[in-house]
Amino acid sequence: MIKRLSENVSNLRLLTRSCSLYSSWGGSAAPPTYAWKVAGEDPSSQKQLNGVHAFQCPDKSGIMAKLTECIASHGGNLINGDVFVSSQKQVFYSRSEFVYDPLQWPRVAMDEDFGKLAKMFSAQKSIVRVPEIDAKFKIAVLASRQDHCLVDLLHEWQEGKLPVEITCVISNHNREPNTHVIRFLERHGIPYHYFPISKENKREEEILKLVGNTDFLVLARYMQAFDAGVKLIGATSHFVTAELDCGPIIEQMVQRISHRDTLLSFAQKSENLEKQCLAKVIKYYCELRVLRLGDTKTVVFD
């Protein structure tokens, strides 16, 4: 189901042992919608805002100078810049954080200005975000029977640690009405959709209709290797390709275990790693810290 879904949903999926994530981003960001942070607030009362821009293009001299000039020419100030150039592929990658006055540099004009640079340098990717006023990324969560990653994701979202809007939760497991997950979802007005799935009917068309307006599709699942006698356990986040578990790695977390660990302690440590890895990857992706480096690697700006 996962492999065939990826062919229909989009060109990108992030995967940990406990999660996957689809994205509908293309080479350039679609025009975002904007809303002032405080309802009814006069835009003229706003002070400087923080923006972030991610850029990927063929390498040549002067790219960073032009990016900096673009920001400065509109009264903005670059406060942090990360650059990486792949010497083998001759590709330039950057992530720029800046502050600016929205009165001097309207949000729509900002998209246009960075769009001109993208055209100038034949960029494969040029994405700009202003978290305080841009609409949050919309995600749907596809969950299995195990709750640990799903529950952690929901609580991280509730506490405002994940800059996303959860549109729905989809599962092949029928959770009872009075369970913790269902009560949480009902309390926050998040729909829960149960789809029993078989080899003959994976319910892909129905799922695709539900996630059509989302930016990400996060898959929550669970794996263990207790019986193998491993001494290190870990969780890996990576983009997904046609081959299972062969996509470019984004993040890995490990923890040492010993013969003293029981099945319970082993499971708890595994779950904690999976939850941490999932939350970090979603946060990094929303902050434009992750870019593809060819077919086998990624650039991750910490």
Question: Mind listing the pLDDT tens digit for each residue in 247-260?
Answer: 778 888 888 888 78
Q: Answer yes or no: is pLDDT of 2 > 60.
A: no
Q: Is the pLDDT assigned to residue 38 strictly greater than 50?
A: no
Phi-psi category of residue 30: left, alpha or beta, with phi > 0 → left and psi -120 to 50 → alpha: beta
119-135 residue pLDDT tens: 999 999 999 999 999 99
Give the residue numbers marked as catalytic: 245
Same domain (yes/no): 176, 124:
no
- With beta carbons less than 8 A apart as the criterion, state whether 136 and 165 touch: yes
Q: Are residues 180 and 89 in the same domain?
A: no
Q: What is the pLDDT of residues 280-300, one digit of tens each?
A: 888 998 999 988 888 888 899
Q: What is the pLDDT of the chain when averaged over all its residues?
A: 81
- Give the pLDDT band of residue 17 (cuts 50, 70, 90): very low
**Domain membership of residue 17 as a residue range:** 2-27+135-300
Q: What is the CATH number of the domain that holds 153?
A: 3.40.50.170
The answer to whether 190 and 153 have CB atoms below 8 angstroms apart is no
Give the number of other CB atoms < 10 A from CB of residue 47. 8
Q: Identify the pLDDT of residue 222.
A: 38
Tally of domains in the chain: 2
Closest CA to 55 of 124, 131, 116: 124
